[in-house]
Chains A and B, each alone.
Chain A
Amino acid sequence: MTILGLPILSLIIFFPMVGVLLLLFVDRNSDELAKWIALAVSAATFLISLPLYWAFDANETAFQFVENVSWIPAWGVRYHLGLDGITLFLVLLTTLLSVVAVAGTWRQVEHHAREFMISLLLLEVGMTGVFVSLDVFLFFVFWEVMLFPMYFLIGVWGSERRLYAAIKFVVYTMTASALMLVAILALYFYNYRATGQFSFNIEDWYRLSIGLPAQYWLFAAFALAFAVKVPMWPFHTWLPDAHVEAPTAGSVILAGVLLKMGTYGFLRFAMPLFPQATQAFLPWLIGLSVVGILYGALVCMVQPDMKKLVAYSSVSHLGFVMLGLFALNQEGVQGSVLQMLNHGISTGGLFLVVGMIYERRHTKAIAEFGGLMRVMPIYATLFLIIVLSSIGLPSLNGFVGEYLILIGAFQVSPVAAILAASAVILAAVYLLWMFQRVFFGEVTNKKNEAVADLNWREVAVLAPLILFIVWIGVFPRPFLSKMETSVGHFIQMVHTEPSARAALLEPHRVADEGGSDVSIALKTQ
């Protein structure tokens, strides 16, 4: 299925390459031009991806906009793309945040802006690819290739300890995904034994029923790769380093999209492929998620560096996402998918605003600031809104996701849900404390006297994020309704034995209850 007869997904994936090619021909010194090209291309990509939302059929369980071409016949690898209600939003988030990232770091790239933008665009290619690949080999290719633009972003344009952070990021991830590769190969042969043909098609693999001890090992391999990416405690230590060293755009993308790949991996691969193993490991995974939630929150409280604080807060928030995923019920999973978006928007926003002050003062140490409220009121206001959404204030986006997750988790493990809920206290503590120290009080540091408030560009960058923060908070239906069917399908998958999935995997429509049409009519009862 395509839009206007275009292979829309390929178009979205590879359109940024156009920008890359253009940039290659830009003179290496004309930074401005490079930035504009990158902005234009990423914006165009976003516009191209927008129609997906309307073209997507919210009641169809099967993948949509599918493209399926043979790629490496020798291994049975196919160029197989597709979209469901979950990846729909992840793709849109990716394209949106790419634009934001390009525009957000306009002034921050002091050198080699051209290469910077090339990396960003390549990164976008990789990320979109990861989300829409239905061929596991293809997925793995995007998964690994996407690391390197990020590696450059951190390593070239990062701050002091950038080299350490960059290599740590790559090696950490690579180690985990290397084991995943072994597991993939194993599955590949299970599939061969079962069906007699070599295929990496995930939909075929969904039909594989694998013996028990093997299933545990394979699940562990997959889970490890994704847990590092998420990151789940205790595999999170690359995250603070990477975030602190990365340039703003890097942090935004890293927090906004890359972390989602881990959760997405669980959702698409680890859990549906190994239902029994999932059930077996569930208590542990839930436990780790909760530990991550509390751990991240507690460690946040004592961070002297804004970016590090936000980084650890990601650990906590992603813990929520995982918790919702492992709840394995409609509320939990829908909440966690929504929370992926929320986290992308809010935390991306946080990194942006931190980056904006960093551009002005070249420090991220909380102690350096104080009393900014008077110097830069607009900045303070937007900052506060984003902080509140990250705290999970009702009527802002964070709350909807977290509450759904809690509702879902509570039905599975009340204790976990209650412990997780206690994070709402901590979130308020660490974020508001930071806000207070940065913005309230007299301007103690002379350097802060003359700091300029946000300019129109920066406000424009933040505006869409704020818009979504409020929109999702006040009226999340447009988002929830689109993902409802796919999430339900996912849950059914995890709950049914692979051998019994035949009917499930047949494309079928679900009854149209509260589907795409959203009523805002004010009815009286």
Chain B
Amino acid sequence: MDIQLIFFYIFAVMAVGGALSVLLFRSPVYCALALVGTFGFLAAIFILLGNEFVAAIQILVYAGAIMVLFLFVIMLLNLRTVEPFNLKWSLPKVLGVVVSIGILAQMIGVFTSAAARLGPMGAYSPERIAQEGAVQIIGQILFTDYVLPFEVISVLLMVAVIGAVVIAKRRLPPPGEEGR
């Protein structure tokens, strides 16, 4: 049996485990760490799928930037108060769980169904990527076909920055408390 596949399954199980622990850990900090783990395993799976570059970005941006931001905020708010595990099971929640399991069933059903079939084959076979190098190809596409999204996304980042400033920055701090 193909070694790739075995690794895939291993990482898959671990990713799912990480996800579940995000779902089930009580302390936000643990959750965050579990999420980092999940991202790691996903990155590994990306490698298996032949996209080392994306895997790297995944680690850098997600695990590196985003999750750090999460942890930073958690620490900042020092949410030591561990969320009591009673999830307050209300009827809607139960319904929700049932429903999401339903979604899962439907999705698996579709993905494994015979009718499901991939779209037309593209030009970028793993071999080509291997010889031309993923970074070069991506760069090329990014600055030709995707130049507009690339430019526009900057506006998005700009908005995000402004937003952070507007919302989080303290105007007129309350007396007797230095801004953190």
Is there any pair of Cβ atoms, one from A and one from B, under 8 angstroms apart in the complex? no
Query: Which chain B residues have a beta carbon within 8 Å of chain A's beta carbons?
Result: none
Query: Which chain A residues have a beta carbon within 8 Å of chain B's beta carbons?
Result: none
